[in-house]
A = this chain, B = another copy of it.
């Protein structure tokens, strides 16, 4: 399985509470008591962890259809709106009669892919994988929006904004992608982009050993 932001999807039931936020708005903060979970209706949300050392880590980006905040006790991450956002908030009770435990396992699986990205991938592979994911999530390869800033991307991929910018320029010069302004791009050569992301073979990721 390739790297992909946590794509936990839960079928809708009766909307509980609609929440609207403007860009940079805060949904909740790390340390808060958990009081429900959220589903993204419109816009992009980022999961942040702030450290006393001053640095920031963006664990995940959530897009329309994604669900976050299923933890019960204390919020481990701060959730912030990247764009204008519309959310639905629901009670924790609702989740139980949906998927009892499977969500956490899905999150775990996603996180394993992320660990692999951080541990085994170069800057180029990370950026390529990120753009690829954006494109796949949106279902288009042309005019794909990049709603988050270079700094946001960098804090997610654990690079500097400079390296992100440089790498995007590199991918452009190689004709794998084309930018239309800093916030929109198109995939020119999907195969090559996959290759650049280190995902050319579907079985490249968790290697299945033969039984014995």
Interface residues of A (CB under 8 A from B): 29-32, 49-53, 55, 57, 59, 71-73, 76, 78, 100-101, 104-105, 107-109, 111-112, 114-116, 118-120, 158, 198, 201, 203-209, 211
Contacts and interface: CB of A to CB of B under 8 A. Distances in A.
Contact of A53 (B73, B104, B111, B204): B204
A69 to B, nearest CB: 13
B31 A76 contact: no
A211 B104 contact: no
Given A105-B71, A111-B111, A112-B49, A119 B57 contact: yes
Nearest to A204: B52
A199 to B, nearest CB: 11
A109 B76 contact: yes
A148 to B, nearest CB: 17
Given A29-B209, A112-B49, A209-B29, A55 B104 contact: no
A46 B201 CA distance: 27
B112 A115 contact: no
A85 to B, nearest CB: 19
A126 to B, nearest CB: 11
